[in-house]
Chains A and B, each alone.
Chain A
Amino acid sequence: MDRVAAWLHEKNPGLDGPIDADEDLVEARLIDSMDFLEFVDLLEEISGTSIDLQEATIDDFRTLARVRERFLSAAG
């Protein structure tokens, strides 16, 4: 999860402190829509599996807790 948090901080330089596991990353636009596919790429790279956006829902990307559970649990 460190790489995910680092990516979010890199994209949001004004962000102070850690990001809450339940913070709504989409609604607060910590993941800007222009960067969304880059975020998906990052998750694919970390997890080593491809993500089918036809199968996913927006809630799968909404919080760090959900991202961990949905995509990164196997990667630890």
Chain B
Amino acid sequence: MSTTSATALPDGGLKNPGAGLVTLDPVHTALLRGLDDLLAGLAARHGAPEVTGPPLLAAEGLARLDYFRNFPHLGVGAGTFAPESLDGLAGGEPPAGLPLRPTGHLLPSATCYGLLLSLEDRDVGEDGLRLSATGRCFRNETHYDGLRRLWGFHMREVLYLGTKEGALEHLEQGAAFVRETAGRLGLDLTRATADDPFYDRGGSRARLMALDPVKHEFSAPDGTAIASVNRHRNFFGERLGIRAGSHGPAYSACVAFGVERWVHAMILAHGSAERALDRLRAAARPA
């Protein structure tokens, strides 16, 4: 019994659904999965259990984290068709242009929000807590560009909550891991301070961040940022009532990887998806 005919892609490959959207073929999918597995090594190294965040986030919860004050333009909402539209739709009416009712939920724009909201009013203890997850994240952008800038993408994060010192240590360990992993993969990365994509770039938060950067990015030679280390001070701990034992409101920090961007950086460095996959497999092999 042969399965070749059932596994080969049709001529022309898989169609892309539109700007900012992409269907990954088997080689790109193998790259995405393999890179995510490799990046999960940061979680494994520090004993961060793997969890799965929620697929939608309550707008009310995000509002408490100042999400809309900072990034009102990024949010991709979840909507339902109004009941009065349903008969028409079932009768074959085109959906384009029909009003959507808000559900009070948004698609996540970063993996850590769902994890943080799930820890509301919890005590992570004196020693703190690490968690890791990969989630599909969504952001409205003004333009889209291949795997570099997508409407939806995978974000792997390793989140720490605990003490101020623990948060700094987490970021140092994360930065060392990024450098080491990039070295294994043959990626040349540049580290620089970075700004979050604030809506109000002259606003208070953006101005303070310019004076005291809380985010550093690691970028490929074409400028694509593929990883970042972020410290939040005790912001999420205070807003969500997350405590670190006797230390009070938890300090937090996260290391984040845009997985499709790692795929992009690998292809950029090695010339093709196939050669990138060979390099990834060699790097993933135990020494």
Contacts and interface: CB of A to CB of B under 8 A. Distances in A.
Contacts of A53: 207, 210-211
Interface of A: 26-29, 33-38, 53, 56-58, 61
Interface string B191-208: 000000000000111011
16 contacts: A26-B208, A27-B233, A28-B233, A29-B238, A33-B209, A34-B69, A34-B204, A36-B205, A37-B203, A37-B207, A38-B204, A53-B211, A56-B211, A58-B211, A58-B212, A61-B211
Nearest to A27: B233
B63 to A, nearest CB: 13
B9 to A, nearest CB: 49
B207 A36 contact: yes
A53 B208 CA distance: 9
Interface residues on B, range: 10 to 19
Given A27-B164, A28-B234, A33 B204 contact: yes
B234 A26 contact: no
Interface of B: 66, 69, 164, 203-205, 207-212, 233-235, 238
Contact of B233 (A29, A38, A57): A29
A2 to B, nearest CB: 23
Contacts of A28: 233-234
Contacts of B210: 53
